[in-house]
């Protein structure tokens, strides 16, 4: 099963006899903006126009738990996550398509959570809402209750110790921008740098200028050149487990399974006892 879907393919499926549930997960990183701009409001963006039939999902409230020692976007309470997905109409036997405003990070977080908790058919709209060529709707659909019950997988999730171990035994990709990996700047977390042994692999390098993923063969070549050879266990982290999910998605497009360290740098760097590496060298 493909992990991504094009806008034309989505339009065709919505017009077919087995339309997918569509989730709108528009979100932006909550970094203070200059000139007193208000924070991004995903629900307001949804209400102003969305793919017809789409249901809004709040990343901060429904795809993550409260920020704290486990990071800025830790795993949500799974009972609450399941309830949110059922309210959105998600059922185990119905395909799901997720999109965001084009960056792909938020949609990938929803994709990863649904896949990790057992949904068999989830795809991300490649290029997000900007790729949609159909009309937009302001109607909020009255969807029936779904039946999805989260059943977390035995693999695919890393904690801090697991990430540290994988950086030595396999390959651990750091999906943040290179300057944050090196520790040149750190606009959000307590300290800059990276997990010792992690390899810099910015998720921005997985997409074309229009936000769509590079071809699978090109992605596969990139990741293999960075150490994801056949038989090597792969993991990913980022700042708080959002852009890292996008890298896991890119790896899936390339046919490479990978686990996600959800706590990521926001959890790792909050503990002064954990080692920090700086500079371009993984160690």
Alpha helices (H) in 54-191, listed in sequence order: 59-62, 78-87, 105-116, 160-169, 178-182
Q: Are 102 and 149 in contact (CB under 8 A)?
A: no
Distance in angstroms (rounded) separating the CA atoms of residues 240 and 12? 35
Residues 6+ apart with CB under 8 A from 76: 62, 63, 64, 65, 113
Task: Identify which of 3, 7, 5, 1 has the alpha carbon closest to the alpha carbon of residue 253.
Answer: 3
SS3 163: helix
- Active-site annotation, residues: 238
- What angle do the packed helices 243-253 and 105-116 form, to 10 degrees? 70
Residue 209, by phi and psi: left (phi above 0), alpha (psi -120 to 50) or beta? alpha
Q: Is the dihedral of CA 223, 226, 228, 234 positive or negative?
A: negative
Distance in angstroms (rounded) separating the CA atoms of residues 172 and 228? 9
SS3 124: strand
Q: Order across the sheet with 199-200: list the strands.
A: 157-158, 259-261, 234-237, 171-174, 199-200
């Amino acid at each position: 099963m493909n992990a991504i879907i094009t806008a034309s393919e989505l339009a065709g499926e919505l017009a077919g006899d087995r339309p997918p549930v569509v989730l709108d997960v528009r979100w932006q990183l909550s970094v203070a903006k200059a000139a007193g701009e208000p924070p991004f409001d995903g629900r307001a963006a949804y209400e102003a126009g969305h793919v017809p039939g789409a249901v809004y999902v709040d990343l901060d409230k429904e795809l993550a738990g409260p920020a704290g020692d486990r990071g800025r976007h830790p795993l949500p309470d799974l009972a609450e996550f399941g309830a949110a997905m059922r309210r959105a109409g998600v059922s185990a036997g119905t395909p799901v398509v997720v999109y965001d405003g084009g960056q792909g990070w938020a949609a990938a977080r929803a994709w990863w959570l649904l896949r990790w908790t057992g949904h068999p058919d989830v795809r991300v709209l490649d290029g997000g809402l900007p790729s949609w060529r159909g009309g937009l709707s302001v109607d909020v659909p009255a969807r029936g209750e779904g039946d999805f019950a989260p059943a977390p997988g035995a693999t695919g999730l890393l904690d801090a110790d697991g990430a540290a171990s994988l950086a030595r035994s396999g390959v651990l990709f750091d999906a943040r921008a290179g300057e944050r990996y090196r520790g040149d700047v750190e606009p959000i977390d307590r300290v800059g740098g990276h997990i010792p042994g992690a390899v810099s692999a910015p998720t921005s390098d997985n997409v074309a200028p229009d936000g769509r993923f590079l071809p699978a063969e090109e992605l596969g070549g990139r990741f293999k050149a960075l150490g994801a050879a056949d038989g090597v266990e792969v993991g990913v982290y980022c700042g708080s487990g959002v852009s890292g999910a996008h890298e896991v998605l890119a790896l899936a497009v390339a046919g490479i399974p990978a686990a996600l360290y959800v706590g990521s740098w926001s959890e790792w760097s909050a503990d002064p006892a954990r080692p920090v590496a700086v500079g371009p060298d993984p160690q």
